[in-house]
Amino acid sequence: MTLRILAVDDEPLALGRISQLLEQFDDVEVVAAVDNGVDAIDAIRRLRPDLALLDIEMPQMGGFDIVDALPAVAATGAPPPPLIAFITAYPQFALEAFDAGAIDFLCKPVRIARLAKMLERARQAVLGREASRRLQELRGDLQHLREAAAQVRERNLWVRNKGELLRISAADVEWIEAQGAYVQLHLVDRAYLVRSSIHALAEQLKEEDYVRVHKSAVINRAKVVKITRGRGSVSVTLAGGADIRVGRKYRSALDELATARPGPGRR
């Protein structure tokens, strides 16, 4: 059988990559590749794909919202709704997605070996006519998925280390250092390299009491034990002993550092 697939991702590079990977499989047809939820719904209605690969986080209409709209689409014609596989940069959501009825859950960047496993699952599910049942289960758990996604994104960071995925509590990271296309997460006794921009992580961790003090450094305010002002320079010392220089542009952050803020659950 030929597996007919719709790919949906608002990032052009990610959409192009998944489309190219899918084209390497002889029994797969990419019926459409679109960058927004509205076009995705239209493509599902017109093209009736067997499987929809949905990016969870897209402006206005993300992957969860597309799933929410599928019953109305299914009602317009006889063919069943597509199987759903989510794609995201946050591997934390995988367990909830499987429990909710998604056929699979792919983490960016998608690897071809992992994609092959997902396609085999989809083939078996199509043959077993599981799509309608899985969609009903998935829609029933969307709110739980959204809440779990929000909580995980705020409280934990996931890093790859020697072929494993490790969950790191945001509270355990003392500071984050920019290193080109990567950032280094510094804990008291170890460090991890993660592919991300310092700006993206600073935004992600705003609500977790992290403060940017330099173009190349974000610190965990709870770990600050001393602020030192010298002639023309300012630095902060963290609990683990690291001294971080504060950039001129970010010195207003010192006022925020010295101001008490309520901890999680007391806001």
* In contact, 156 and 171? CB cutoff 8 Å: no
37 and 145 both lie in a single domain: yes
| Last residue within a domain, chosen from 118, 153, 188 | 153
104 and 230 both lie in a single domain: no
Angle at alpha carbon of residue 166, lines to 165 and 171, rounded to 5°: 145
143 and 185 both lie in a single domain: no
User: From residue 174, how far is each of 91, 165, 199, 248 by CA, in Å?
Assistant: 23, 20, 17, 21
At residue 203 the predicted structure's pLDDT band, cuts being 50, 70 and 90, is confident
188 and 126 both lie in a single domain: no
pLDDT digits (tens, 9 = 90+) for 45-78: 999 999 999 998 888 898 888 988 887 665 555 4
Per-residue confidence (pLDDT) for residue 129, from 0 to 100: 64
Residue 160 lies in a domain: no
pLDDT > 90 in the chain, percent: 37
Which CATH number goes with the domain that contains 248? 2.40.50.1020
**Which residue is it, tokens 């990567």?**
182
Residue 158 lies in a domain: no
Assess whether pLDDT exceeds 90 at residue 17.
yes
- Each residue of 55-75: b (16+ CB within 10 Å) or e? bbbbeebbbbbbbbbbeebbe
Residue 22 lies in a domain: yes
Residue 104 lies in a domain: yes
| Last residue within a domain, chosen from 153, 185, 207 | 153
pLDDT digits (tens, 9 = 90+) for 25-54: 999 999 999 999 999 999 999 999 999 999
Q: pLDDT averaged over the chain?
A: 82
Per-residue confidence (pLDDT) for residue 264, from 0 to 100: 45
130 and 99 both lie in a single domain: yes
* In contact, 175 and 168? CB cutoff 8 Å: no
* In contact, 217 and 244? CB cutoff 8 Å: yes
User: What predicted TM-score, i.e. pTM, was given to this entire model?
Assistant: 0.53
Of residues 137, 30, 163, 146, the one with CA closest to residue 88:
146
Per-residue confidence (pLDDT) for residue 216, from 0 to 100: 93
Q: How many domains does the chain contain in total?
A: 2
144 and 198 both lie in a single domain: no
199 and 135 both lie in a single domain: no
240 and 118 both lie in a single domain: no
Which CATH number goes with the domain that contains 20? 3.40.50.2300
Give the residue with greater pLDDT, 188 vs 72: 188
Expressed as residue numbers, the domain containing 101 is: 3-153
25 and 149 both lie in a single domain: yes
110 and 197 both lie in a single domain: no
83 and 179 both lie in a single domain: no
Residue 23 lies in a domain: yes
41 and 84 both lie in a single domain: yes
